[in-house]
């Protein structure tokens, strides 16, 4: 079964690293990756498509990742969300978790932590095929 993943990050290199990760990720599934480099693009995609997992950068231009996370939930999106940030901010981490994120990843990524977080997240929410 193919898992659909949306990556939202304004840094193309981060999107590339995550695409490479999912190309190598070996847990019995293929992964179809969609990416958005802005909050507006992500919202547009989320209105049209369903995903099994969303990876969301917390620090985005104009509208921050936390605002997008809240908007994701108002759109009725039930996919688990992992938030990512290059800065350690315990307050923002807590806010993201309270807003519905299932995990928090620090950049640069520790690939074992990323692997573990993705496995846990994919086991925590409804699937694209099931709503």
In this structure, is residue 105 part of a structural domain?
yes
- Whether the per-residue pLDDT at 130 is higher than 90: the answer is no
- Whether the per-residue pLDDT at 17 is higher than 70: the answer is yes
In this structure, is residue 127 part of a structural domain?
no
Question: Domain count of the chain?
Answer: 1
In this structure, is residue 36 part of a structural domain?
yes
pLDDT over 70 percentage in the chain: 93
- pLDDT value at residue 128: 57
Q: Does residue 55 come out as left (phi exceeding 0), alpha (psi in the -120 to 50 range) or beta?
A: beta
Q: In which element (H, E) is residue 4 found?
A: strand 2-8
In terms of residue numbers, what domain contains 56? 2-122
pLDDT over 90 percentage in the chain: 67
Q: What CATH number is attached to the domain comprising 80? A: 3.40.50.2300
In this structure, is residue 14 part of a structural domain?
yes
**pTM summary value:** 0.90
């Amino acid at each position: 079964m193919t898992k659909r993943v949306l990556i939202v990050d304004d840094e193309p290199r981060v999107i590339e690293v995550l695409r490479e990760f999912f190309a190598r990720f070996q847990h019995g599934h293929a992964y179809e990756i969609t990416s958005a480099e802005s909050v507006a693009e992500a919202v547009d995609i989320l209105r049209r498509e369903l995903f099994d997992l969303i990876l969301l950068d917390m620090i985005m231009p104009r509208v921050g990742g936390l605002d997008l996370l809240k908007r994701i939930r108002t759109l009725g999106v039930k996919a688990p969300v992992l938030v990512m940030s290059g800065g350690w901010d315990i307050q923002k981490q807590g806010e993201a978790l309270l807003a519905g994120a299932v995990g928090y990843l620090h950049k640069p990524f520790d690939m074992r932590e990323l692997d573990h977080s993705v496995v846990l997240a994919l086991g925590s929410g409804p699937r694209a095929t099931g709503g």
